[in-house]
Amino acid sequence: MKQVRFRDPAGAVRTGEWDDGTVRFGGREYDQSAVEILPPCEPTKIVCIGRNYADHAAEMDSDVPDRPLLFLKPPNAVSSHGSEVTLPAGKDRLDFEAELGVVIDEQCRHVDEADAMDVVRGFTCVNDLSNRDDQRQETNWVRGKAFDGAAPIGPVIAPAEDVPADASVRSYCNGEVRQDGTRDQMIFSVPELVAEITQYMTLEPGDVIATGTPEGVGKLEDGDEVVVEVEGVGRLEHTVEIPSA
């Protein structure tokens, strides 16, 4: 069962089931167009993994790290399926990055790799929107990665067992395939990431790990339509607005 958070026609926030665009809750069915799809969880933080695909590291002219490269996106970065994300104005390079997202199910710290999947609620789609202009000028990547709306997430949380070990991770921009990788190309696996992150910080229910992006990231233009597709999860769709400087 895929889980979806939505606002029903009466304005109430609900958590229901998603089945090919039909939303079910409390014995009622809604077409997804009749409700507002919300981010599938409310993270206290998004822990992002840099350069977790060797081909992406190469296209960024960067080395593959010898341990997971971690950075954070705060709650203000979360945006939803179907949203229009306003990107920073006056930038030369604003990129999309399709990623498999891992949603945490319980408060956890010092999780062994062998037990890591026990604390995972399921998987979702993430777009790690990136402001390269500022990312290249700073070491903590706040301007580059943590701006408002910089982490579209959704539309659902799929059970981990529904997402193959070699699940495809793709992005589309204006209908054109731009990234086409697989989960098994990740340098560090989901259990390895959970174990590493929880050695340093407590993960809370609803927190998200964005596991890195395949090669093919690209520049966004005003009005672009972006899709992130993860096999077994579905398609996260949104548009972007880039204000005049």
pLDDT of residue 159: 98
How many angstroms separate the CA atoms of 96 and 113, rounded? 30
Does residue 72 share a domain with residue 24?
no
Is pTM beyond 0.95? Reply is yes
Does residue 194 share a domain with residue 95?
yes
Does residue 139 share a domain with residue 114?
yes
Give the pLDDT confidence of 78-112 residue by residue, as tens digits.
999 999 999 999 999 999 999 999 999 999 999 99
Task: Work out the pLDDT band at 213, boundaries 50, 70, 90.
Answer: very high
pLDDT of residue 142: 97
pLDDT of residue 245: 76
Q: HEC profile for the chain?
A: CEEEEEECCCCCEEEEEEECCEEEECCEEEEHHHCEECCCCCCCCEEEEECCEHHHHHHCCCCCCCCCEEEEECHHHEEECCCEEECCCCCCCEEECEEEEEEECCCECCCCHHHHHHHEEEEEEEECCEEHHHHCCCCCCHHHHCCCCCEEEEEEEECHHHCCCCCEEEEEECCEEEEEEEHHHECCCHHHHHHHHCCCCCECCCCEEECCCCCCCEECCCCCEEEEEECCCEEEEEEEECCCC
> What is the mean predicted confidence (pLDDT) over 199-206?
98
Bridge partners, 152 (sequence order) = 79
Bigger pLDDT: 109 or 21? 109
How wide is the angle at C-alpha 21 spanned by C-alphas 16 and 23, nearest 5°? 25
Question: Does residue 230 have a pLDDT over 90?
Answer: yes
Does residue 16 share a domain with residue 75?
no
CATH code where residue 16 lies: 2.30.30
* Phi, psi (degrees; rounded to nearest 5) at 47: -95, 115
Does residue 80 share a domain with residue 8?
no
Question: Does residue 27 have a pLDDT over 90?
Answer: yes
Q: Residue 182 contacts by C-beta under 8 Å, 6 or more apart in sequence? A: 166, 167, 168, 169, 214
pLDDT of residue 174: 98
Does residue 43 share a domain with residue 30?
no
Does residue 24 share a domain with residue 94?
no
Report whether 169 contacts 230 (CB < 8 A): yes
- Listed residue (4, 31, 1, 17) closest to 154, CA to CA: 4
Question: Does residue 144 have a pLDDT over 80?
Answer: yes
Does residue 134 share a domain with residue 55?
yes
Q: What is the mean pLDDT of the chain?
A: 97
Report whether 199 contacts 192 (CB < 8 A): no
Task: Work out the pLDDT band at 31, boundaries 50, 70, 90.
Answer: very high
Give the pLDDT confidence of 231-244 residue by residue, as tens digits.
999 999 999 999 99
Does residue 59 share a domain with residue 149?
yes
Domain that holds residue 7: 1-38
Does residue 117 share a domain with residue 8?
no
Bigger pLDDT: 20 or 200? 200
Does residue 209 share a domain with residue 100?
yes
Question: Does residue 198 have a pLDDT over 90?
Answer: yes
pLDDT of residue 21: 85
Domain count, the chain: 2
CATH code where residue 148 lies: 3.90.850.10
Question: Does residue 8 have a pLDDT over 80?
Answer: yes
Does residue 99 share a domain with residue 17?
no
